[in-house]
Structure formats: C-alpha cells, structure tokens
Structure 1
Amino acid sequence: MQRVTYQGYFGDKRIESRGSSLHQRLFSSGTRSIQGLSINRAEQKAYYRFLHNDRASEEKLIEELIGRCSSQVKGKVVLAIQDTTEVNLTTHKGRLQSHTGLGGIDDSKGIGFKLHPSLVVDAQTCFPLGFSSIRMWGREFDMDTKAARKYLPIEQKESYKWLQASDQSKTALNEAAAIVIIQDREGDILEQFIRIPDERTHLLIRSRLNRLTNDVEGKLWDTLSASAKLGTYQVKLDSDSHGNLPAREATIEVRCIKTSIRRKGKGISAELYAVEALEVGCVGYQGVHWRLLTTWPVTDFDQARLVIEWYTWRWFIEELFRMLKKEGFNIEGSELETGWSIRKLTVMLLDTIMKLMQMHIAYNEAEEANVPDSDILFTKEEQRCIDALNEVNEGKTKALKNPFKAGKLNYAVWVISRLGGWKGYTSQRKPGMTTMFKGINKFYDVFDGWTLQKDVGTR
C-alpha cells in the first residue's frame, strides 16, 4: 500500500497523494529526472505540476521532514550535524528562469543556491533519524566585500546560518534528552558558544583560531598542546586521495583542558572544553590533528574519545552532499527550469538519501544490535518480494547465506546489495551506499514485474 507521506500538509488530498507518489518514486528509481522516473506522460505532467505548485511549498516540505524527525528523538541523545554546500546551476543559466530562488555562489560568475542542513543521528547507535533544520538561499549578486561585511552584526552576516540552524535544531529536537550540535571550523564563532548552549544543548566544533583565553598560560592551541596527555589509541584510517594520505593504522594522542575563549578587548567569554586528537609517528605526510571545542563535559580519556568519535560522524553530511550531487542524484543536472522547483526537489532528495544512509548503517550494525524492522522503508508486499529474492540470491554454503534475521532492515539490505553487484562474501568489503543505490533501482524493477505477475495471476 502506498504511504501518503504528506497527508494533511498541503490542504489538498490530490496534491498530497501526488507528492507522496513522487517521494516514493525518487527512492525506487534512483534518479532525479522527472522524465526518467515517470511511467507515462500523464504522471510526468503531474509531478511537474506538484513541483511548480505554490501550495506544495518548500517551507511545507521542510516542515514535514523536520516533523518526522522530531517524532523519533524523544528521550534520546542525538547529534545534529551541520554543514554547507552549494548547488551550481551555471551550465543551465540560459534555460533557468530568473528571480526564482537562485543567486550567486562561490564562483563570482556562477548561479545556483546554498544549502545548509542539520542531519540528526542517534548518538548511541549512529542511526540517521532525519533533519532538524534545512535552509536554502541564493546570494545577492551585489554583496558587500568581505572586508565591509567583517564589521556587520552577526545577524547580517551569512555566517549567521550556523546560529539559525542551531536555534532551529533546539526547537525541533525539544523532546530529546540531549542535543550535540556538530560543525566544522566555519562554525567556530564566539557568539554561538555564548548564545546556543544550555543544560541539554551542547556544541562540538573544530577550532578555527588560536583564540585568546582567560587563562594566564597563553592562547588556546598553545595551552592545549602543552597539557598532559590523557592517553593514546589506535585506529584504522582509510586512504585519502585528495590529501595523498595512505591507508594506515594510526596512533592518536589525546589531550583535554577546561578553558574559556574570549574576544580581544571585550569582556565577553564562553567556558568550554578543548580536546586535541594528534596523530603521531607520521613520516612523509601530515597526519590527523584536530582541536575540538565542546560544551559537553569532558573530564577523562573515555569522554574525550567519545567526542572525537562523534566528530568523525561528520562523514554523514559529506556523504549526503556527495550523493546529492555528482556521485548520486546529480541535482546540478536537473532539467527543471525554475530555482524554486529545483530547491523543492532537493528537499525530497535529501529525504531519499537519508533512507540510503539508514540502510548503510543498519547493515553495518553488530548482529546483536537493536536494528530497526524493514517496515521503516519497505511495505509488506515489498518485504514479501525481498524474501523471495533472498531465496534466489543465497548460495548453498553458509558463507553465502543471509546472516540477518528476516524482517529486519539489515536482512533486506543484504538482498538489495546483492542486486547492486555485491558478492555476499563476509571476506569481501562490506557494501557501500553506491552499491545499495544501484541495488534499490534494480529491486524496484524486479518488484514491478513481481506485482504485475501477481495481478495478472489473480484475474
């Protein structure tokens, strides 16, 4: 049975049904092309109408997505991972309608829009729960110079996006036991440390500046590096082609201090913990060296390790952007002709990619973990088809049997990954999101035939 995702949001059952159908088709087809995912011309027109309908607004799409996330966080400690990317539509400049939600981007001659989401994951299980904030905007083409903007109030700067998203996350996640907001160096803004934290809301941000502190010992980084070592640990790190870093077993030294940061010449300051993760023994390359600022209490080695691990989960949002653009749905190649419709499609694709992330994490959970049931992503009939495909894809030996419990999400993901080209051997590298992305597309091709066969067989 088709889920009506947007029920009650647009004030029109036909629009809601059309949006729910498009929502499901984005997931099942593996494409952002409306022409490519539509079964016929009538359906194609219906989806175009939905994306151009003012009643199915960007704000309502975001509200629905955030609402689903809010309903899942009660009593949990959650991480809200923020970052910014841009959707570059410059190659379609001649086709896109002007004044439709687009603006300048980092390329001074380009057009597109900025995207700043907050992706929420369970701090204990790493399982993605949804989004607590999504903001999109086009820059004004005649923005003041960077030097002129430096002296503006924070509310008038583009960097205010970090504080806005943090405030919105606090509201959306108000039933969570605790929130840890994670940001990269661009979020290292003193005003944020002063305004955002409270008894249940914490910040975890990579330090951008060797800031002044209220300590007599000196600046932040110098004091932190001179502090006593809490301990060391080993971790396997993958290779990084961009930084020419090899795959390796890294030794990480950990330090932590309780301190405060302040602005020169002003009495405003914020208390926090600074944690250092320093890779030692590097030869021929620059290893990991993170200085993390957090309001989450860190008083020993285990707590320091925890916040370092949480920070590594920023991988989620980088993967989100990768799948949204070139290596996944290629939103920058959209055939839509208005910025507003592309922005709405972007919101729906973020939701689709989150489902792929849920599949990826569910598969990588330990067998004894509390893995969700398949019905969070698949209907009863789809699960029956998955069961049938499991029988076909399992081998005769134990090594090629589905190791997971039927009805669980990791059981379904094993089958989907086999369809995506994964061989199924435990000695083989675990399937990645790209494999699952391919597998979903193939699964729904099979499911369409499965459904047709059943319908014909009952006539």
Structure 2
Amino acid sequence: MRALSEHPNDSVPQATQQASKSQSIYRFWSNPRIQARQILASHRPSVVARVNAERVVLAIQDTTDLDFSSLQQTSGLGFICQTQQQGIKVHSCFAVSGDGEPLGVLHQHTWSRAERAGKRQSRRQRPTGEKESQRWLDTLTAAEPGVDDSVCLVHVGDREADIYDLFVQPRRAHSELLIRAAHNRKVEGELGYLIPTLAQAPIQGQLSVEVARNPQRPARQATLTLRAMTLTIAVPRNGKQAPAAQPVQLNAVLAEETQPPADGSQPIRWMLLTTLPVETFEQACQCVRWYSRRWLIERFHFTLKSGCRIEQLQLETAERLCNALATYSIVAWRLMWLTYHARVAPDDACDAILQTAEWRLLRRRFEPKNRSKKPPTIRQAVRWIAQLGGFLARKGDGEPGLKTLWRGLGVLHHLLEGAQLAAKR
C-alpha cells in the first residue's frame, strides 16, 4: 500500500522498482484466500473512527464501469454497457464529512453482467431483490455498522437511487436519505404527481452553490431558486412490493436555475427527495449544499481510473482485478484527502501528512538556501509536490489539482529513493 500510494500513477513494477516486491503484490492479489472485501475491511475501522468524529457524514453511493476490453484472456469479466465492452461494474459508498472532507470507503460491491442487455419490458414487473437496483439497499445496510448514534448519517444518491424500496428500507437511528428524483411519482394531492405538485410549492429563496466541472460543463457558481414541501409518495402500481406496502411521507426540494448559464451549459434542475427536515429556508439550503457534494464520489472514481490507472492493469482473473481495485480504492482516498487538507488547512504544518525525509527533500529541491528545521505549511508542501508533477504555480493558476498531485508524488519518492541510495555510498 505504501509503494502504490507513493507512486499512484505508475505501474506496479515502476512503483516498487524491484522484481521481488512487484511479485509479492501480484501474489497477494492472486492469493485464493484473499478477497476484496477483506482488503477493504482492513481500511474500514479507521474510516468508521473518522466518521464517528464528525457530527454529519454523507454516505455517497454511485456506480461506475471499469473497462478491461483489452484483456481478452482474463476470466470472469462481463458486459458493462450495451456494446461488446468487457469489464467490471463497481458500486461504492464513499464517506464524506458535511464540510466535504473525504473520510474513506464504507462499502464497495462489484459484479459482472453475463448478458449484454437486460429485459427492459419486464424490469418493472420484477421485485427489486432480483434486479441490480438491490445494490442500493444492500449498500445502505452495509455502510451503517459501527457508526455512533450521535452521527447523522445522510445516504446520498443520484437518480438511479430513486427506488421506492430504498425509501422504506429500515435504517439505523439518525440515518437520513437525500436522493435526486428521477420519476414523476404518484403523490397524494390535487395535482396527483410529483413534478407539478412540487413546481407549485412556494419559493423559499435563492442559494448560490459551486457546481463542479464535468465533461459536459465547466466549473461555475450557480444561483438556484428553492422550493420545498412535504408530500406523500404512493406505492408504485407496476412494482412487486410487499402486500403490506404503504405510502411513504417524504420531504421534497426543487432547486433550479431560472436564468440559463452564460456559458451555454444546461441549467441545473435538482428535484430532491429526503427524510431531512425542510421546514425552513436554511434547512432546504442545507439539503442542496449536501447534495452538491455528491460530485466527490465521481472524483473518487476519476482518481481510480486516471490517477491510479486501474484500467491499465493486466491480471488474469476478475477476482484479482477486484483485489487490486480494493487496494487502489484506499490509495485513491488518500490522494483526495491530501488535496482536501491542502485547501482547508493550508497553514497547518505539513508533518501531519508528510514524513520528515519527504518535506526536507522538497525544501532542499525548491528552497536550497533555507536551513530552517521547522516544517513548511501543508499548502506550500503540496504546491511543491504538484510542481514536481507539472504544476506551474503562477499567480493566476489557483491551487493544484489531483492530476499534478499524483504525478508529483511519484517524482518525489523517486527523488527520495535516489537521495537515500546516495547517502549510503
């Protein structure tokens, strides 16, 4: 784990620099007695400890595909979309503090599809337990053990999580739901359906939120108009719910940009269903702010794919790939954690995140005349690491991102290894 964390953007042989060490990692992943869930289980106690130190924690769920189509000889892969692409589907639960600090992976589920496409016509007629949608319910249950009752655990999901069975799934005390609605559900009231009912709710006010960039839009500030109300969701008519299923009362928030963005991107329109209170404007704003942090799990998946290059691995079975995924998931969390602390605690001493030999080498590289024994700040150390990865550190460049950080970490530890070898001569 240490070797891969120090060289996240390198292959295993590049990260270890020794054939014996590389072989030990590959043997670990291929050991039939080792399973991915055990690797993540070793990470979970420290995650839960960080969770229990917070007042509010967002348990964000999302699914991504790992494409291993180039591995023609690898067994256990399945279809990941409607094409012939082969790979593994991954559903993760990533814990984030209410303020956005990455806390770690609470749960991860992987599977392979045996068929390229499902039976769409009969999908609504099948119970949730027979569909891939069951992963949302199982992950909610798996994320909660060990979390103190004093912690408000908010389960956050995108439109795929708009599932009636998830709304009625048993949860621990002080666990809440915050789900983006996908369906115009049947609700009690004169208008009869969710969208028109929520659209006529009174406006509570406006809120400015930071919208993260994605392939379809750049990062920007968005001004959202908020509406909120309490409503009752009817039992789906086409589903296979239990005979005793009852309507469920939820709170709803509609957050939308009434003015189209100047950059021409699609205006935001979030329709949120939640068990959190929305009686006041501030409560509705809190729901929107917390949902806006859902992009962090997308950043986690991006770090896995681009930073740790998980899709570049060439292993012989899907089981070995899943063991590697579990290992790199911990590495990806640590990269995000370093980036977060550089932005929220920039003036703290960097010895909280770097070893003495690491920050001393950085100072020798960038401030060779500085003889201070006091460690630099986190912000300064992270900027130096990012400069090793290609960050230019100009006045208008802002703070470094994940890409330059993971590149710089690899360079830093290659320099450190070289310095240690030179010292032994």
Q: TM-score, normalised by structure 2?
A: 0.88
Which residue is 1:186 aligned to?
Answer: 160
SS where residue 280 of structure 1 aligns? Answer: coil
Code of the residue aligned with 1:348 in structure 2: it is: T
For the residues of structure 1 that align with 2:393 and 2:181, how far apart are their CA atoms?
42
Per-residue CA distance 1:327-374 (angstroms, 9 max, x = gap): 323322212121111111111111111111011111111557xx6964
Structure-2 residue corresponding to 1:90: 69
Q: Which residue of 1 aligns with 2:122?
A: 148
What amino acid is aligned across from residue 412 of structure 1 in structure 2? Answer: A
Partner of 1:321: 301
Deviation string for 1:148-207 (max 9, x for gaps)? 343222111110000000011112534661100111000000111111445311111100
Q: Tell me the CA shift for residue 140 of structure 1.
A: 2.5
Question: Within the alignment, does 1:135 sit opposite 2:109 as a pair?
Answer: yes
**Distance in 1 of aligned mates of 2:281 and 2:383:** 36
Separation (CA, whole Å) in 2 of partners of 1:372 and 1:212: 55
C-alpha distance in 2, partners of 1:434/1:415? 14
1:160 aligns with 2:139: no
Where in structure 2 are the equivalents of 1:76-115 lying within 5 Å? 76=54, 77-93=56-72, 95-96=73-74, 98=75, 100=76, 102-115=77-90
Aligned to 1:434: 403
One-letter code aligned to 1:162: W
Q: Per the alignment, do residues 281 and 300 of structure 1 end up closer, same or farther by CA in structure 2, a change over 3 Å counting? A: same
Shift in alpha-carbon separation, 1:305–1:144, aligned structure 2, 3 A: closer
Which of 274, 281, 290 is the equivalent residue of 1:310?
290
Q: Specify which of 186, 205, 214 is matched with residue 188 of structure 2.
A: 214
Q: Which amino acid aligns with 1:430?
A: E
Match of 1:261 in 2: 233
1:452 aligns with 2:421: yes
Deviations along 1:20-77, one digit per CA (max 9) or x if unpaired, are xxx1111112236223323222222222211111233222112112222112222522
Kindly tell me the number of residue pairs found equivalent between the two proteins. 413
Counterparts of 2:349 and 2:311 in 1: how far apart (Å)? Answer: 33
- Alpha-carbon contact 1:25-1:37 (below 8 Å) kept: yes
Contact (CA 8 Å) 1:182, 1:311: kept in 2 or not?
A: yes
Q: Which of residues 418, 430, 437 in structure 1 aligns to 2:387?
A: 418
- Structure 2: gaps spanning 5 or more residues: 238-242
> For the Cα contact (< 8 Å) 1:75–1:176, is it kept in 2?
no
The CA deviation at 1:237 is 4.6
| Letter matched to residue 314 of structure 2 | E
2:66·2:87 contact (CA, 8 Å) conserved in 1? yes
Bigger drift between 157-166 and 145-154 goes to: 145-154
**Segment drifting more, 303-312 vs 30-39:** 30-39
Change in Cα spacing, 1:367 to 1:223, as seen in structure 2 (3 Å) is same
1:111 partner letter: Q
The change in CA–CA distance for 1:315 and 1:300 in structure 2 (over 3 A counts) is same
Task: Specify the SS of the correspondent of 1:90.
Answer: coil
Distance of aligned partners of 1:169 and 1:374 in 2 relative to their CA distance in 1, 3 Å threshold: farther
Query: Equivalent residues in 2 for 1:36-47 (5 A)?
Result: 36-47=14-25
Shift of 1:126: 1.4
What does residue 13 of structure 1 align with?
none
**What are the equivalent positions in structure 2 for 1:167-206 lying under 5 Å apart?**
167-174=141-148, 177-206=151-180
Matched, 1:354 2:333: yes
1:214 alignment partner, SS class: coil
1:427 & 1:363 partners in 2: Cα distance? Answer: 17
Letter in 1 for 2:301: F
Query: Cα deviation per residue 1:273-293 (whole Å; 9 max; x = unaligned)?
Result: 111111122175531111111
TM-fit CA distance, 1:412: 3.3
Structure-2 change in CA distance of 1:29 and 1:239 (3 Å): closer
> CA contact under 8 A between 2:83 and 2:116: conserved in structure 1?
no
RCO higher in 1 or 2 (8 Å CA, sep ≥ 6)? 2
User: Partner residue of 2:46?
Assistant: 68
Q: Distance in 2 between matches of 1:177 and 1:70?
A: 11
| Amino-acid identity (%) | 27
Give the deviation of 1:216 after TM superposition.
3.4
One-letter amino acid matched to 2:33: R
Quick one: distance in 2 between partners of 1:312 and 1:394?
A: 39
Question: CA offsets per residue over residues 433-452 of structure 1, 9 Å max, x none?
Answer: 00101110111011112322
Q: Report what 2:240 is aligned to.
A: none
CA contact (8 A) 1:422 1:431 kept: yes
User: Helix, strand or coil: the match of 2:398?
Assistant: coil
1:18 corresponds to which residue? none
Secondary structure at 1:303 match in 2: helix
Alpha-carbon spacing, 1:258–1:86, altered in 2? closer, same or farther (3 Å): same
